[in-house]
Each structure stands twice: as C-alpha cells, then as structure tokens.
Amino acid sequence: MKNYNILIVEDDISSAKNLSKILEAEGANVYLNHTGENVLEDLANIHIILLDIMLPFDDGLSISEYINQHVDIPIIFLTARNDIDSKIVGLRSGDDYVTKPFHPFELISRIENIAERFYKKEFVTLFGLTVSPEHFEIYDSSLNLITLTRTENRLFFYLFANINKTLTKSQILEYVWPDGDAFDNTLNVYIKKIRYKIGDENNKIITTIHGVGYRMNYHEK
C-alpha cells in the first residue's frame, strides 16, 4: 500500500491515530477526519476511505451515500456493529465491512486487495494522454508530466472518475469547491485552463454539455 492516500473518518481520536501509525508504517499517506463533516473537502487524491458508522453528527452509511453521489472512491466501513442487517447495508453502500475489534494485518490485507482491484491498471490512455489514476498524474504524448494546480487536478480527476458520464455544473462545483466560494464562471475558467494544458483544443476529451455541465470522454463521441 506504499504511497496510497487513505482517509480515516473516525471520531475516536486515539483509535484513529493508532491506526494512522500502523498504515503509515506500511508506506501509506494517512489523513484524518474526526466527524465526517465537510468530507468532500478531504477527498482530493484519496485512494481509499476507512469510514466509521457511528459518528457524532451523521452516520457513516449516510456519509457513504453522499460520497458515492460525487465520486467513485472505495470505502471500507470500520464499525462495532456486527449484526447481519448492518453488514448487508454496509456492503451495499461500500466495498468492505470490518467489525471492531480487528487485527491490523487483516485490515491491511483488505486494503491491499481493494487497492489492487481498483488501481491495478496503472495507466490509462486517453486521446494521446497517459493518465495514472493511482498517482493522480497526467502525461502528454511524449510522456512529459503535465503540471496542474491543486484545484485543476481535483477537477480533472473528478471528471476522470466519472468518465463518459455527464456531470452537472452544480455537482462539479459542490465537489471541487465544497465551501461554496465558486460559481459557473469560475468552473468555465478552470475547464478552459485544463483544456489548454492537456492540449484539448477541440474539446474531445472534455465536452461541454450546453445548459447542463461537462463530460470527460474515454472515446471520441
């Protein structure tokens, strides 16, 4: 799991810190959210989410539904709920369900299995670009790294995570600027900047769906 970015959403601060140390020892980059609030702000470049169900302001199941509406990031529930009904609901909302207490080696194995399943294809070719969903990097046709700003990268990979799917401007604004300080014109400007940097002069990679939003295409439409 070396260099994977893992977000832990857990209100037990001591448990979260202990788990963080274990995962960091395995080479992961770990980020913490102790309440589940404003979780979209924490998802940039995250590969896997470890999500508690019992949180102070909202339950993890509702949070997972909210996340799944915006982006495709694998979720592993970590919870003390071990009844079959909770497990079934959790597995429908997420990608794995681990009951507390658990052995760290078991969790590490589950994370590695999910990471391999989601990110085993290291590179994706996209209209002459080479995209690494594992490292959140983009290379041009000469395999030179294309440098995007943090916001541009967040926007590009949000579209990439929903490739061939039309996203409304509202969906994109909520994900990329969750604090609400951006508007349609802001989005339009950032799309224009990304198109310029990736050489998408004819809008083949990122298509404008007039009156709706944008779509990233895997194949030419």
Residues 132 and 209 in one domain: yes
Tokens of 13: 């601060």
Q: What is the pLDDT of residue 121?
A: 65
Percent pLDDT > 70 in the chain is: 98
Q: Is residue 21 over pLDDT 90?
A: yes
Q: How far from the centroid of its chain's Cα atoms is residue 125's Cα?
A: 20
Tokens of 200: 């998408």
Residues 111 and 38 in one domain: yes
In a domain, 88, yes or no: yes
**pLDDT band for position 204 (50/70/90)?**
very high
In a domain, 17, yes or no: yes
Residues 114 and 163 in one domain: no
- Between the two ends of the chain, the Cα-to-Cα distance in Å is 36
Domain ranges, residue 178: 124-216
Q: Is residue 220 over pLDDT 60?
A: no
Tell me how far apart the alpha carbons of residues 207 and 215 are, in angstroms, rounded to a whole number.
Answer: 5
Mean pLDDT of 46-60: 91
Domain boundary among 119, 147, 171: 119
In a domain, 221, yes or no: no
The better pLDDT of the pair 1, 165 is held by: 165
Read off the CATH number of the domain in which 95 is found: 3.40.50.2300
Read off the CATH number of the domain in which 203 is found: 1.10.10.10
Tell me how far apart the alpha carbons of residues 124 and 106 are, in angstroms, rounded to a whole number.
Answer: 30
Tokens of 179: 């604090």
The tens digit of pLDDT for each residue in 116-159 reads 888 776 788 899 999 998 889 999 999 999 999 999 999 999 99
Angle at alpha carbon of residue 143, lines to 138 and 144, rounded to 5°: 75
Total count of domains within the chain: 2
Residues 83 and 146 in one domain: no
Residues 100 and 12 in one domain: yes
Domain boundary among 65, 88, 119: 119
Residues 171 and 70 in one domain: no
Q: Is residue 65 over pLDDT 70?
A: yes
Residue type, 129: L
Residues 186 and 113 in one domain: no
In a domain, 198, yes or no: yes
Residues 88 and 115 in one domain: yes
Domain boundary among 86, 119, 152: 119
Percent pLDDT > 90 in the chain is: 60
Residues 138 and 72 in one domain: no
Model confidence, pTM: 0.73
**pLDDT band for position 221 (50/70/90)?**
very low
E strands, the chain, are 5-9, 29-33, 48-52, 75-79, 96-99, 124-126, 129-132, 137-139, 167-168, 206-209, 213-216
In a domain, 97, yes or no: yes
